[in-house]
Amino acid sequence: MSAATLPKCGPSNSPSGWRGWRAVAVWVAAATVGPLAAQQPPSADAPPKTIIVGDFAGAPAGTLPAEWRALTFPDIKTHTLYAAVPDPVQGQVVKATASASASGLLRKIALDAHAYPILRWRWKADNLISKGDVTRKEGDDYPARIYVSFAYDPQRVSLLERARYGAARLIYGEYPPHAGLNYIWDGKAPVGTLVTNAFTSRVKMIVVESGPSRLHEWLTYERNILEDYRRAFGEEPPPVSGIAIMTDADNTGESAVAWYGNIELQPAPQ
């Protein structure tokens, strides 16, 4: 799998003034990783159906789906290792091993969150990040997380921000995403906690698992990204532009191991 290297994004080159590369990992990657075959919505005449965004079980043995690409960061010399491994319950899954490291995997897509609001996934974690803290930059490490990024819409930003997005397009070749939701396994914050990312207001962190009680077991989650976006940002979401997974421990210098099963986007209930 080819790797995409992400430039460090600070106030000078980030359309929304985001100050930390971690918070903008998917924000930048969704514009720079390529070439990728974006998942397009079905035709208007076709009924909505579940889309397997991450078909890890269906990929050839020992390989990751071709649509997924590695994310690496120039400031982080040690990368999290991702490998397709067999699992007796899930079939093939992605194993993530972090040791004072950070990197991720991304799939670029293009779907309407109103038509496909249900995000469904499975993961398993081996341990927590003891120094993790969702409210602090120094604690922005998690054994398991899933990003959902949303496409840039010029009607949603100020003229100044449009100019900044335009400058970013000149650098990266595409407009960066408008915003992101980040579903995380935190060590302390209660499940259901929604907090602004320590680096930027354009990424919201949602705690879907907390504490050690369910370590070492496969867990299934369903989130309504349409409702989560409305609650997080107080507006209707633009189209989804990317889904990513990430296990990281570089800020705390700790280690973490997690496994990710298939990831799906499902149509709105009828």
Which of 65-74, 147-156, 220-229 has the highest mean predicted lDDT (pLDDT)?
220-229
Give tens-digit pLDDT for 154-185: 566 555 565 565 555 555 555 556 689 999 99
Q: Where are the beta strands (DSSP E) in 151-239?
A: 179-186, 194-196, 203-210, 219-224
Q: How far apart are CA 37 and CA 32, in angstroms?
A: 13
- Boundaries of every domain in the chain: 3-266
Give tens-digit pLDDT for 189-242: 999 999 999 877 889 999 999 999 999 999 999 999 999 999 999 999 999 999
CATH architecture, range 3-266: Sandwich (2.60)
- Please state, as a whole number, how many other Cβ atoms lie within 10 Å of the Cβ of residue 175: 19
**Statement: residue 27 has pLDDT above 70:** no
- Respond yes or no on whether the N-terminal peptide bond of residue 269 is cis (omega within 30° of 0): no
Question: Tokens 């189209």 map to which residue?
Answer: 239
Q: Which of 69-83, 90-104, 222-236 has the lowest mean pLDDT?
A: 69-83
Give tens-digit pLDDT for 244-261: 999 999 999 999 999 999
Query: What pLDDT, on the 0 to 100 scale, is given for residue 17?
Result: 29
- End-to-end Cα distance, the chain: 38
Structure tokens at 4: 């995409």
Helix axes 159-172, 25-32, angle to 10 degrees: 60
Query: What pLDDT, on the 0 to 100 scale, is given for residue 23?
Result: 45
Q: How far apart are CA 17 and CA 31, in angstroms?
A: 16
Q: Which of 6-20, 110-124, 242-256 has the lowest mean pLDDT?
A: 6-20
Q: What is the pTM of this model?
A: 0.83
- Please state, as a whole number, how many other Cβ atoms lie within 10 Å of the Cβ of residue 100: 17
**Statement: residue 31 has pLDDT above 60:** no
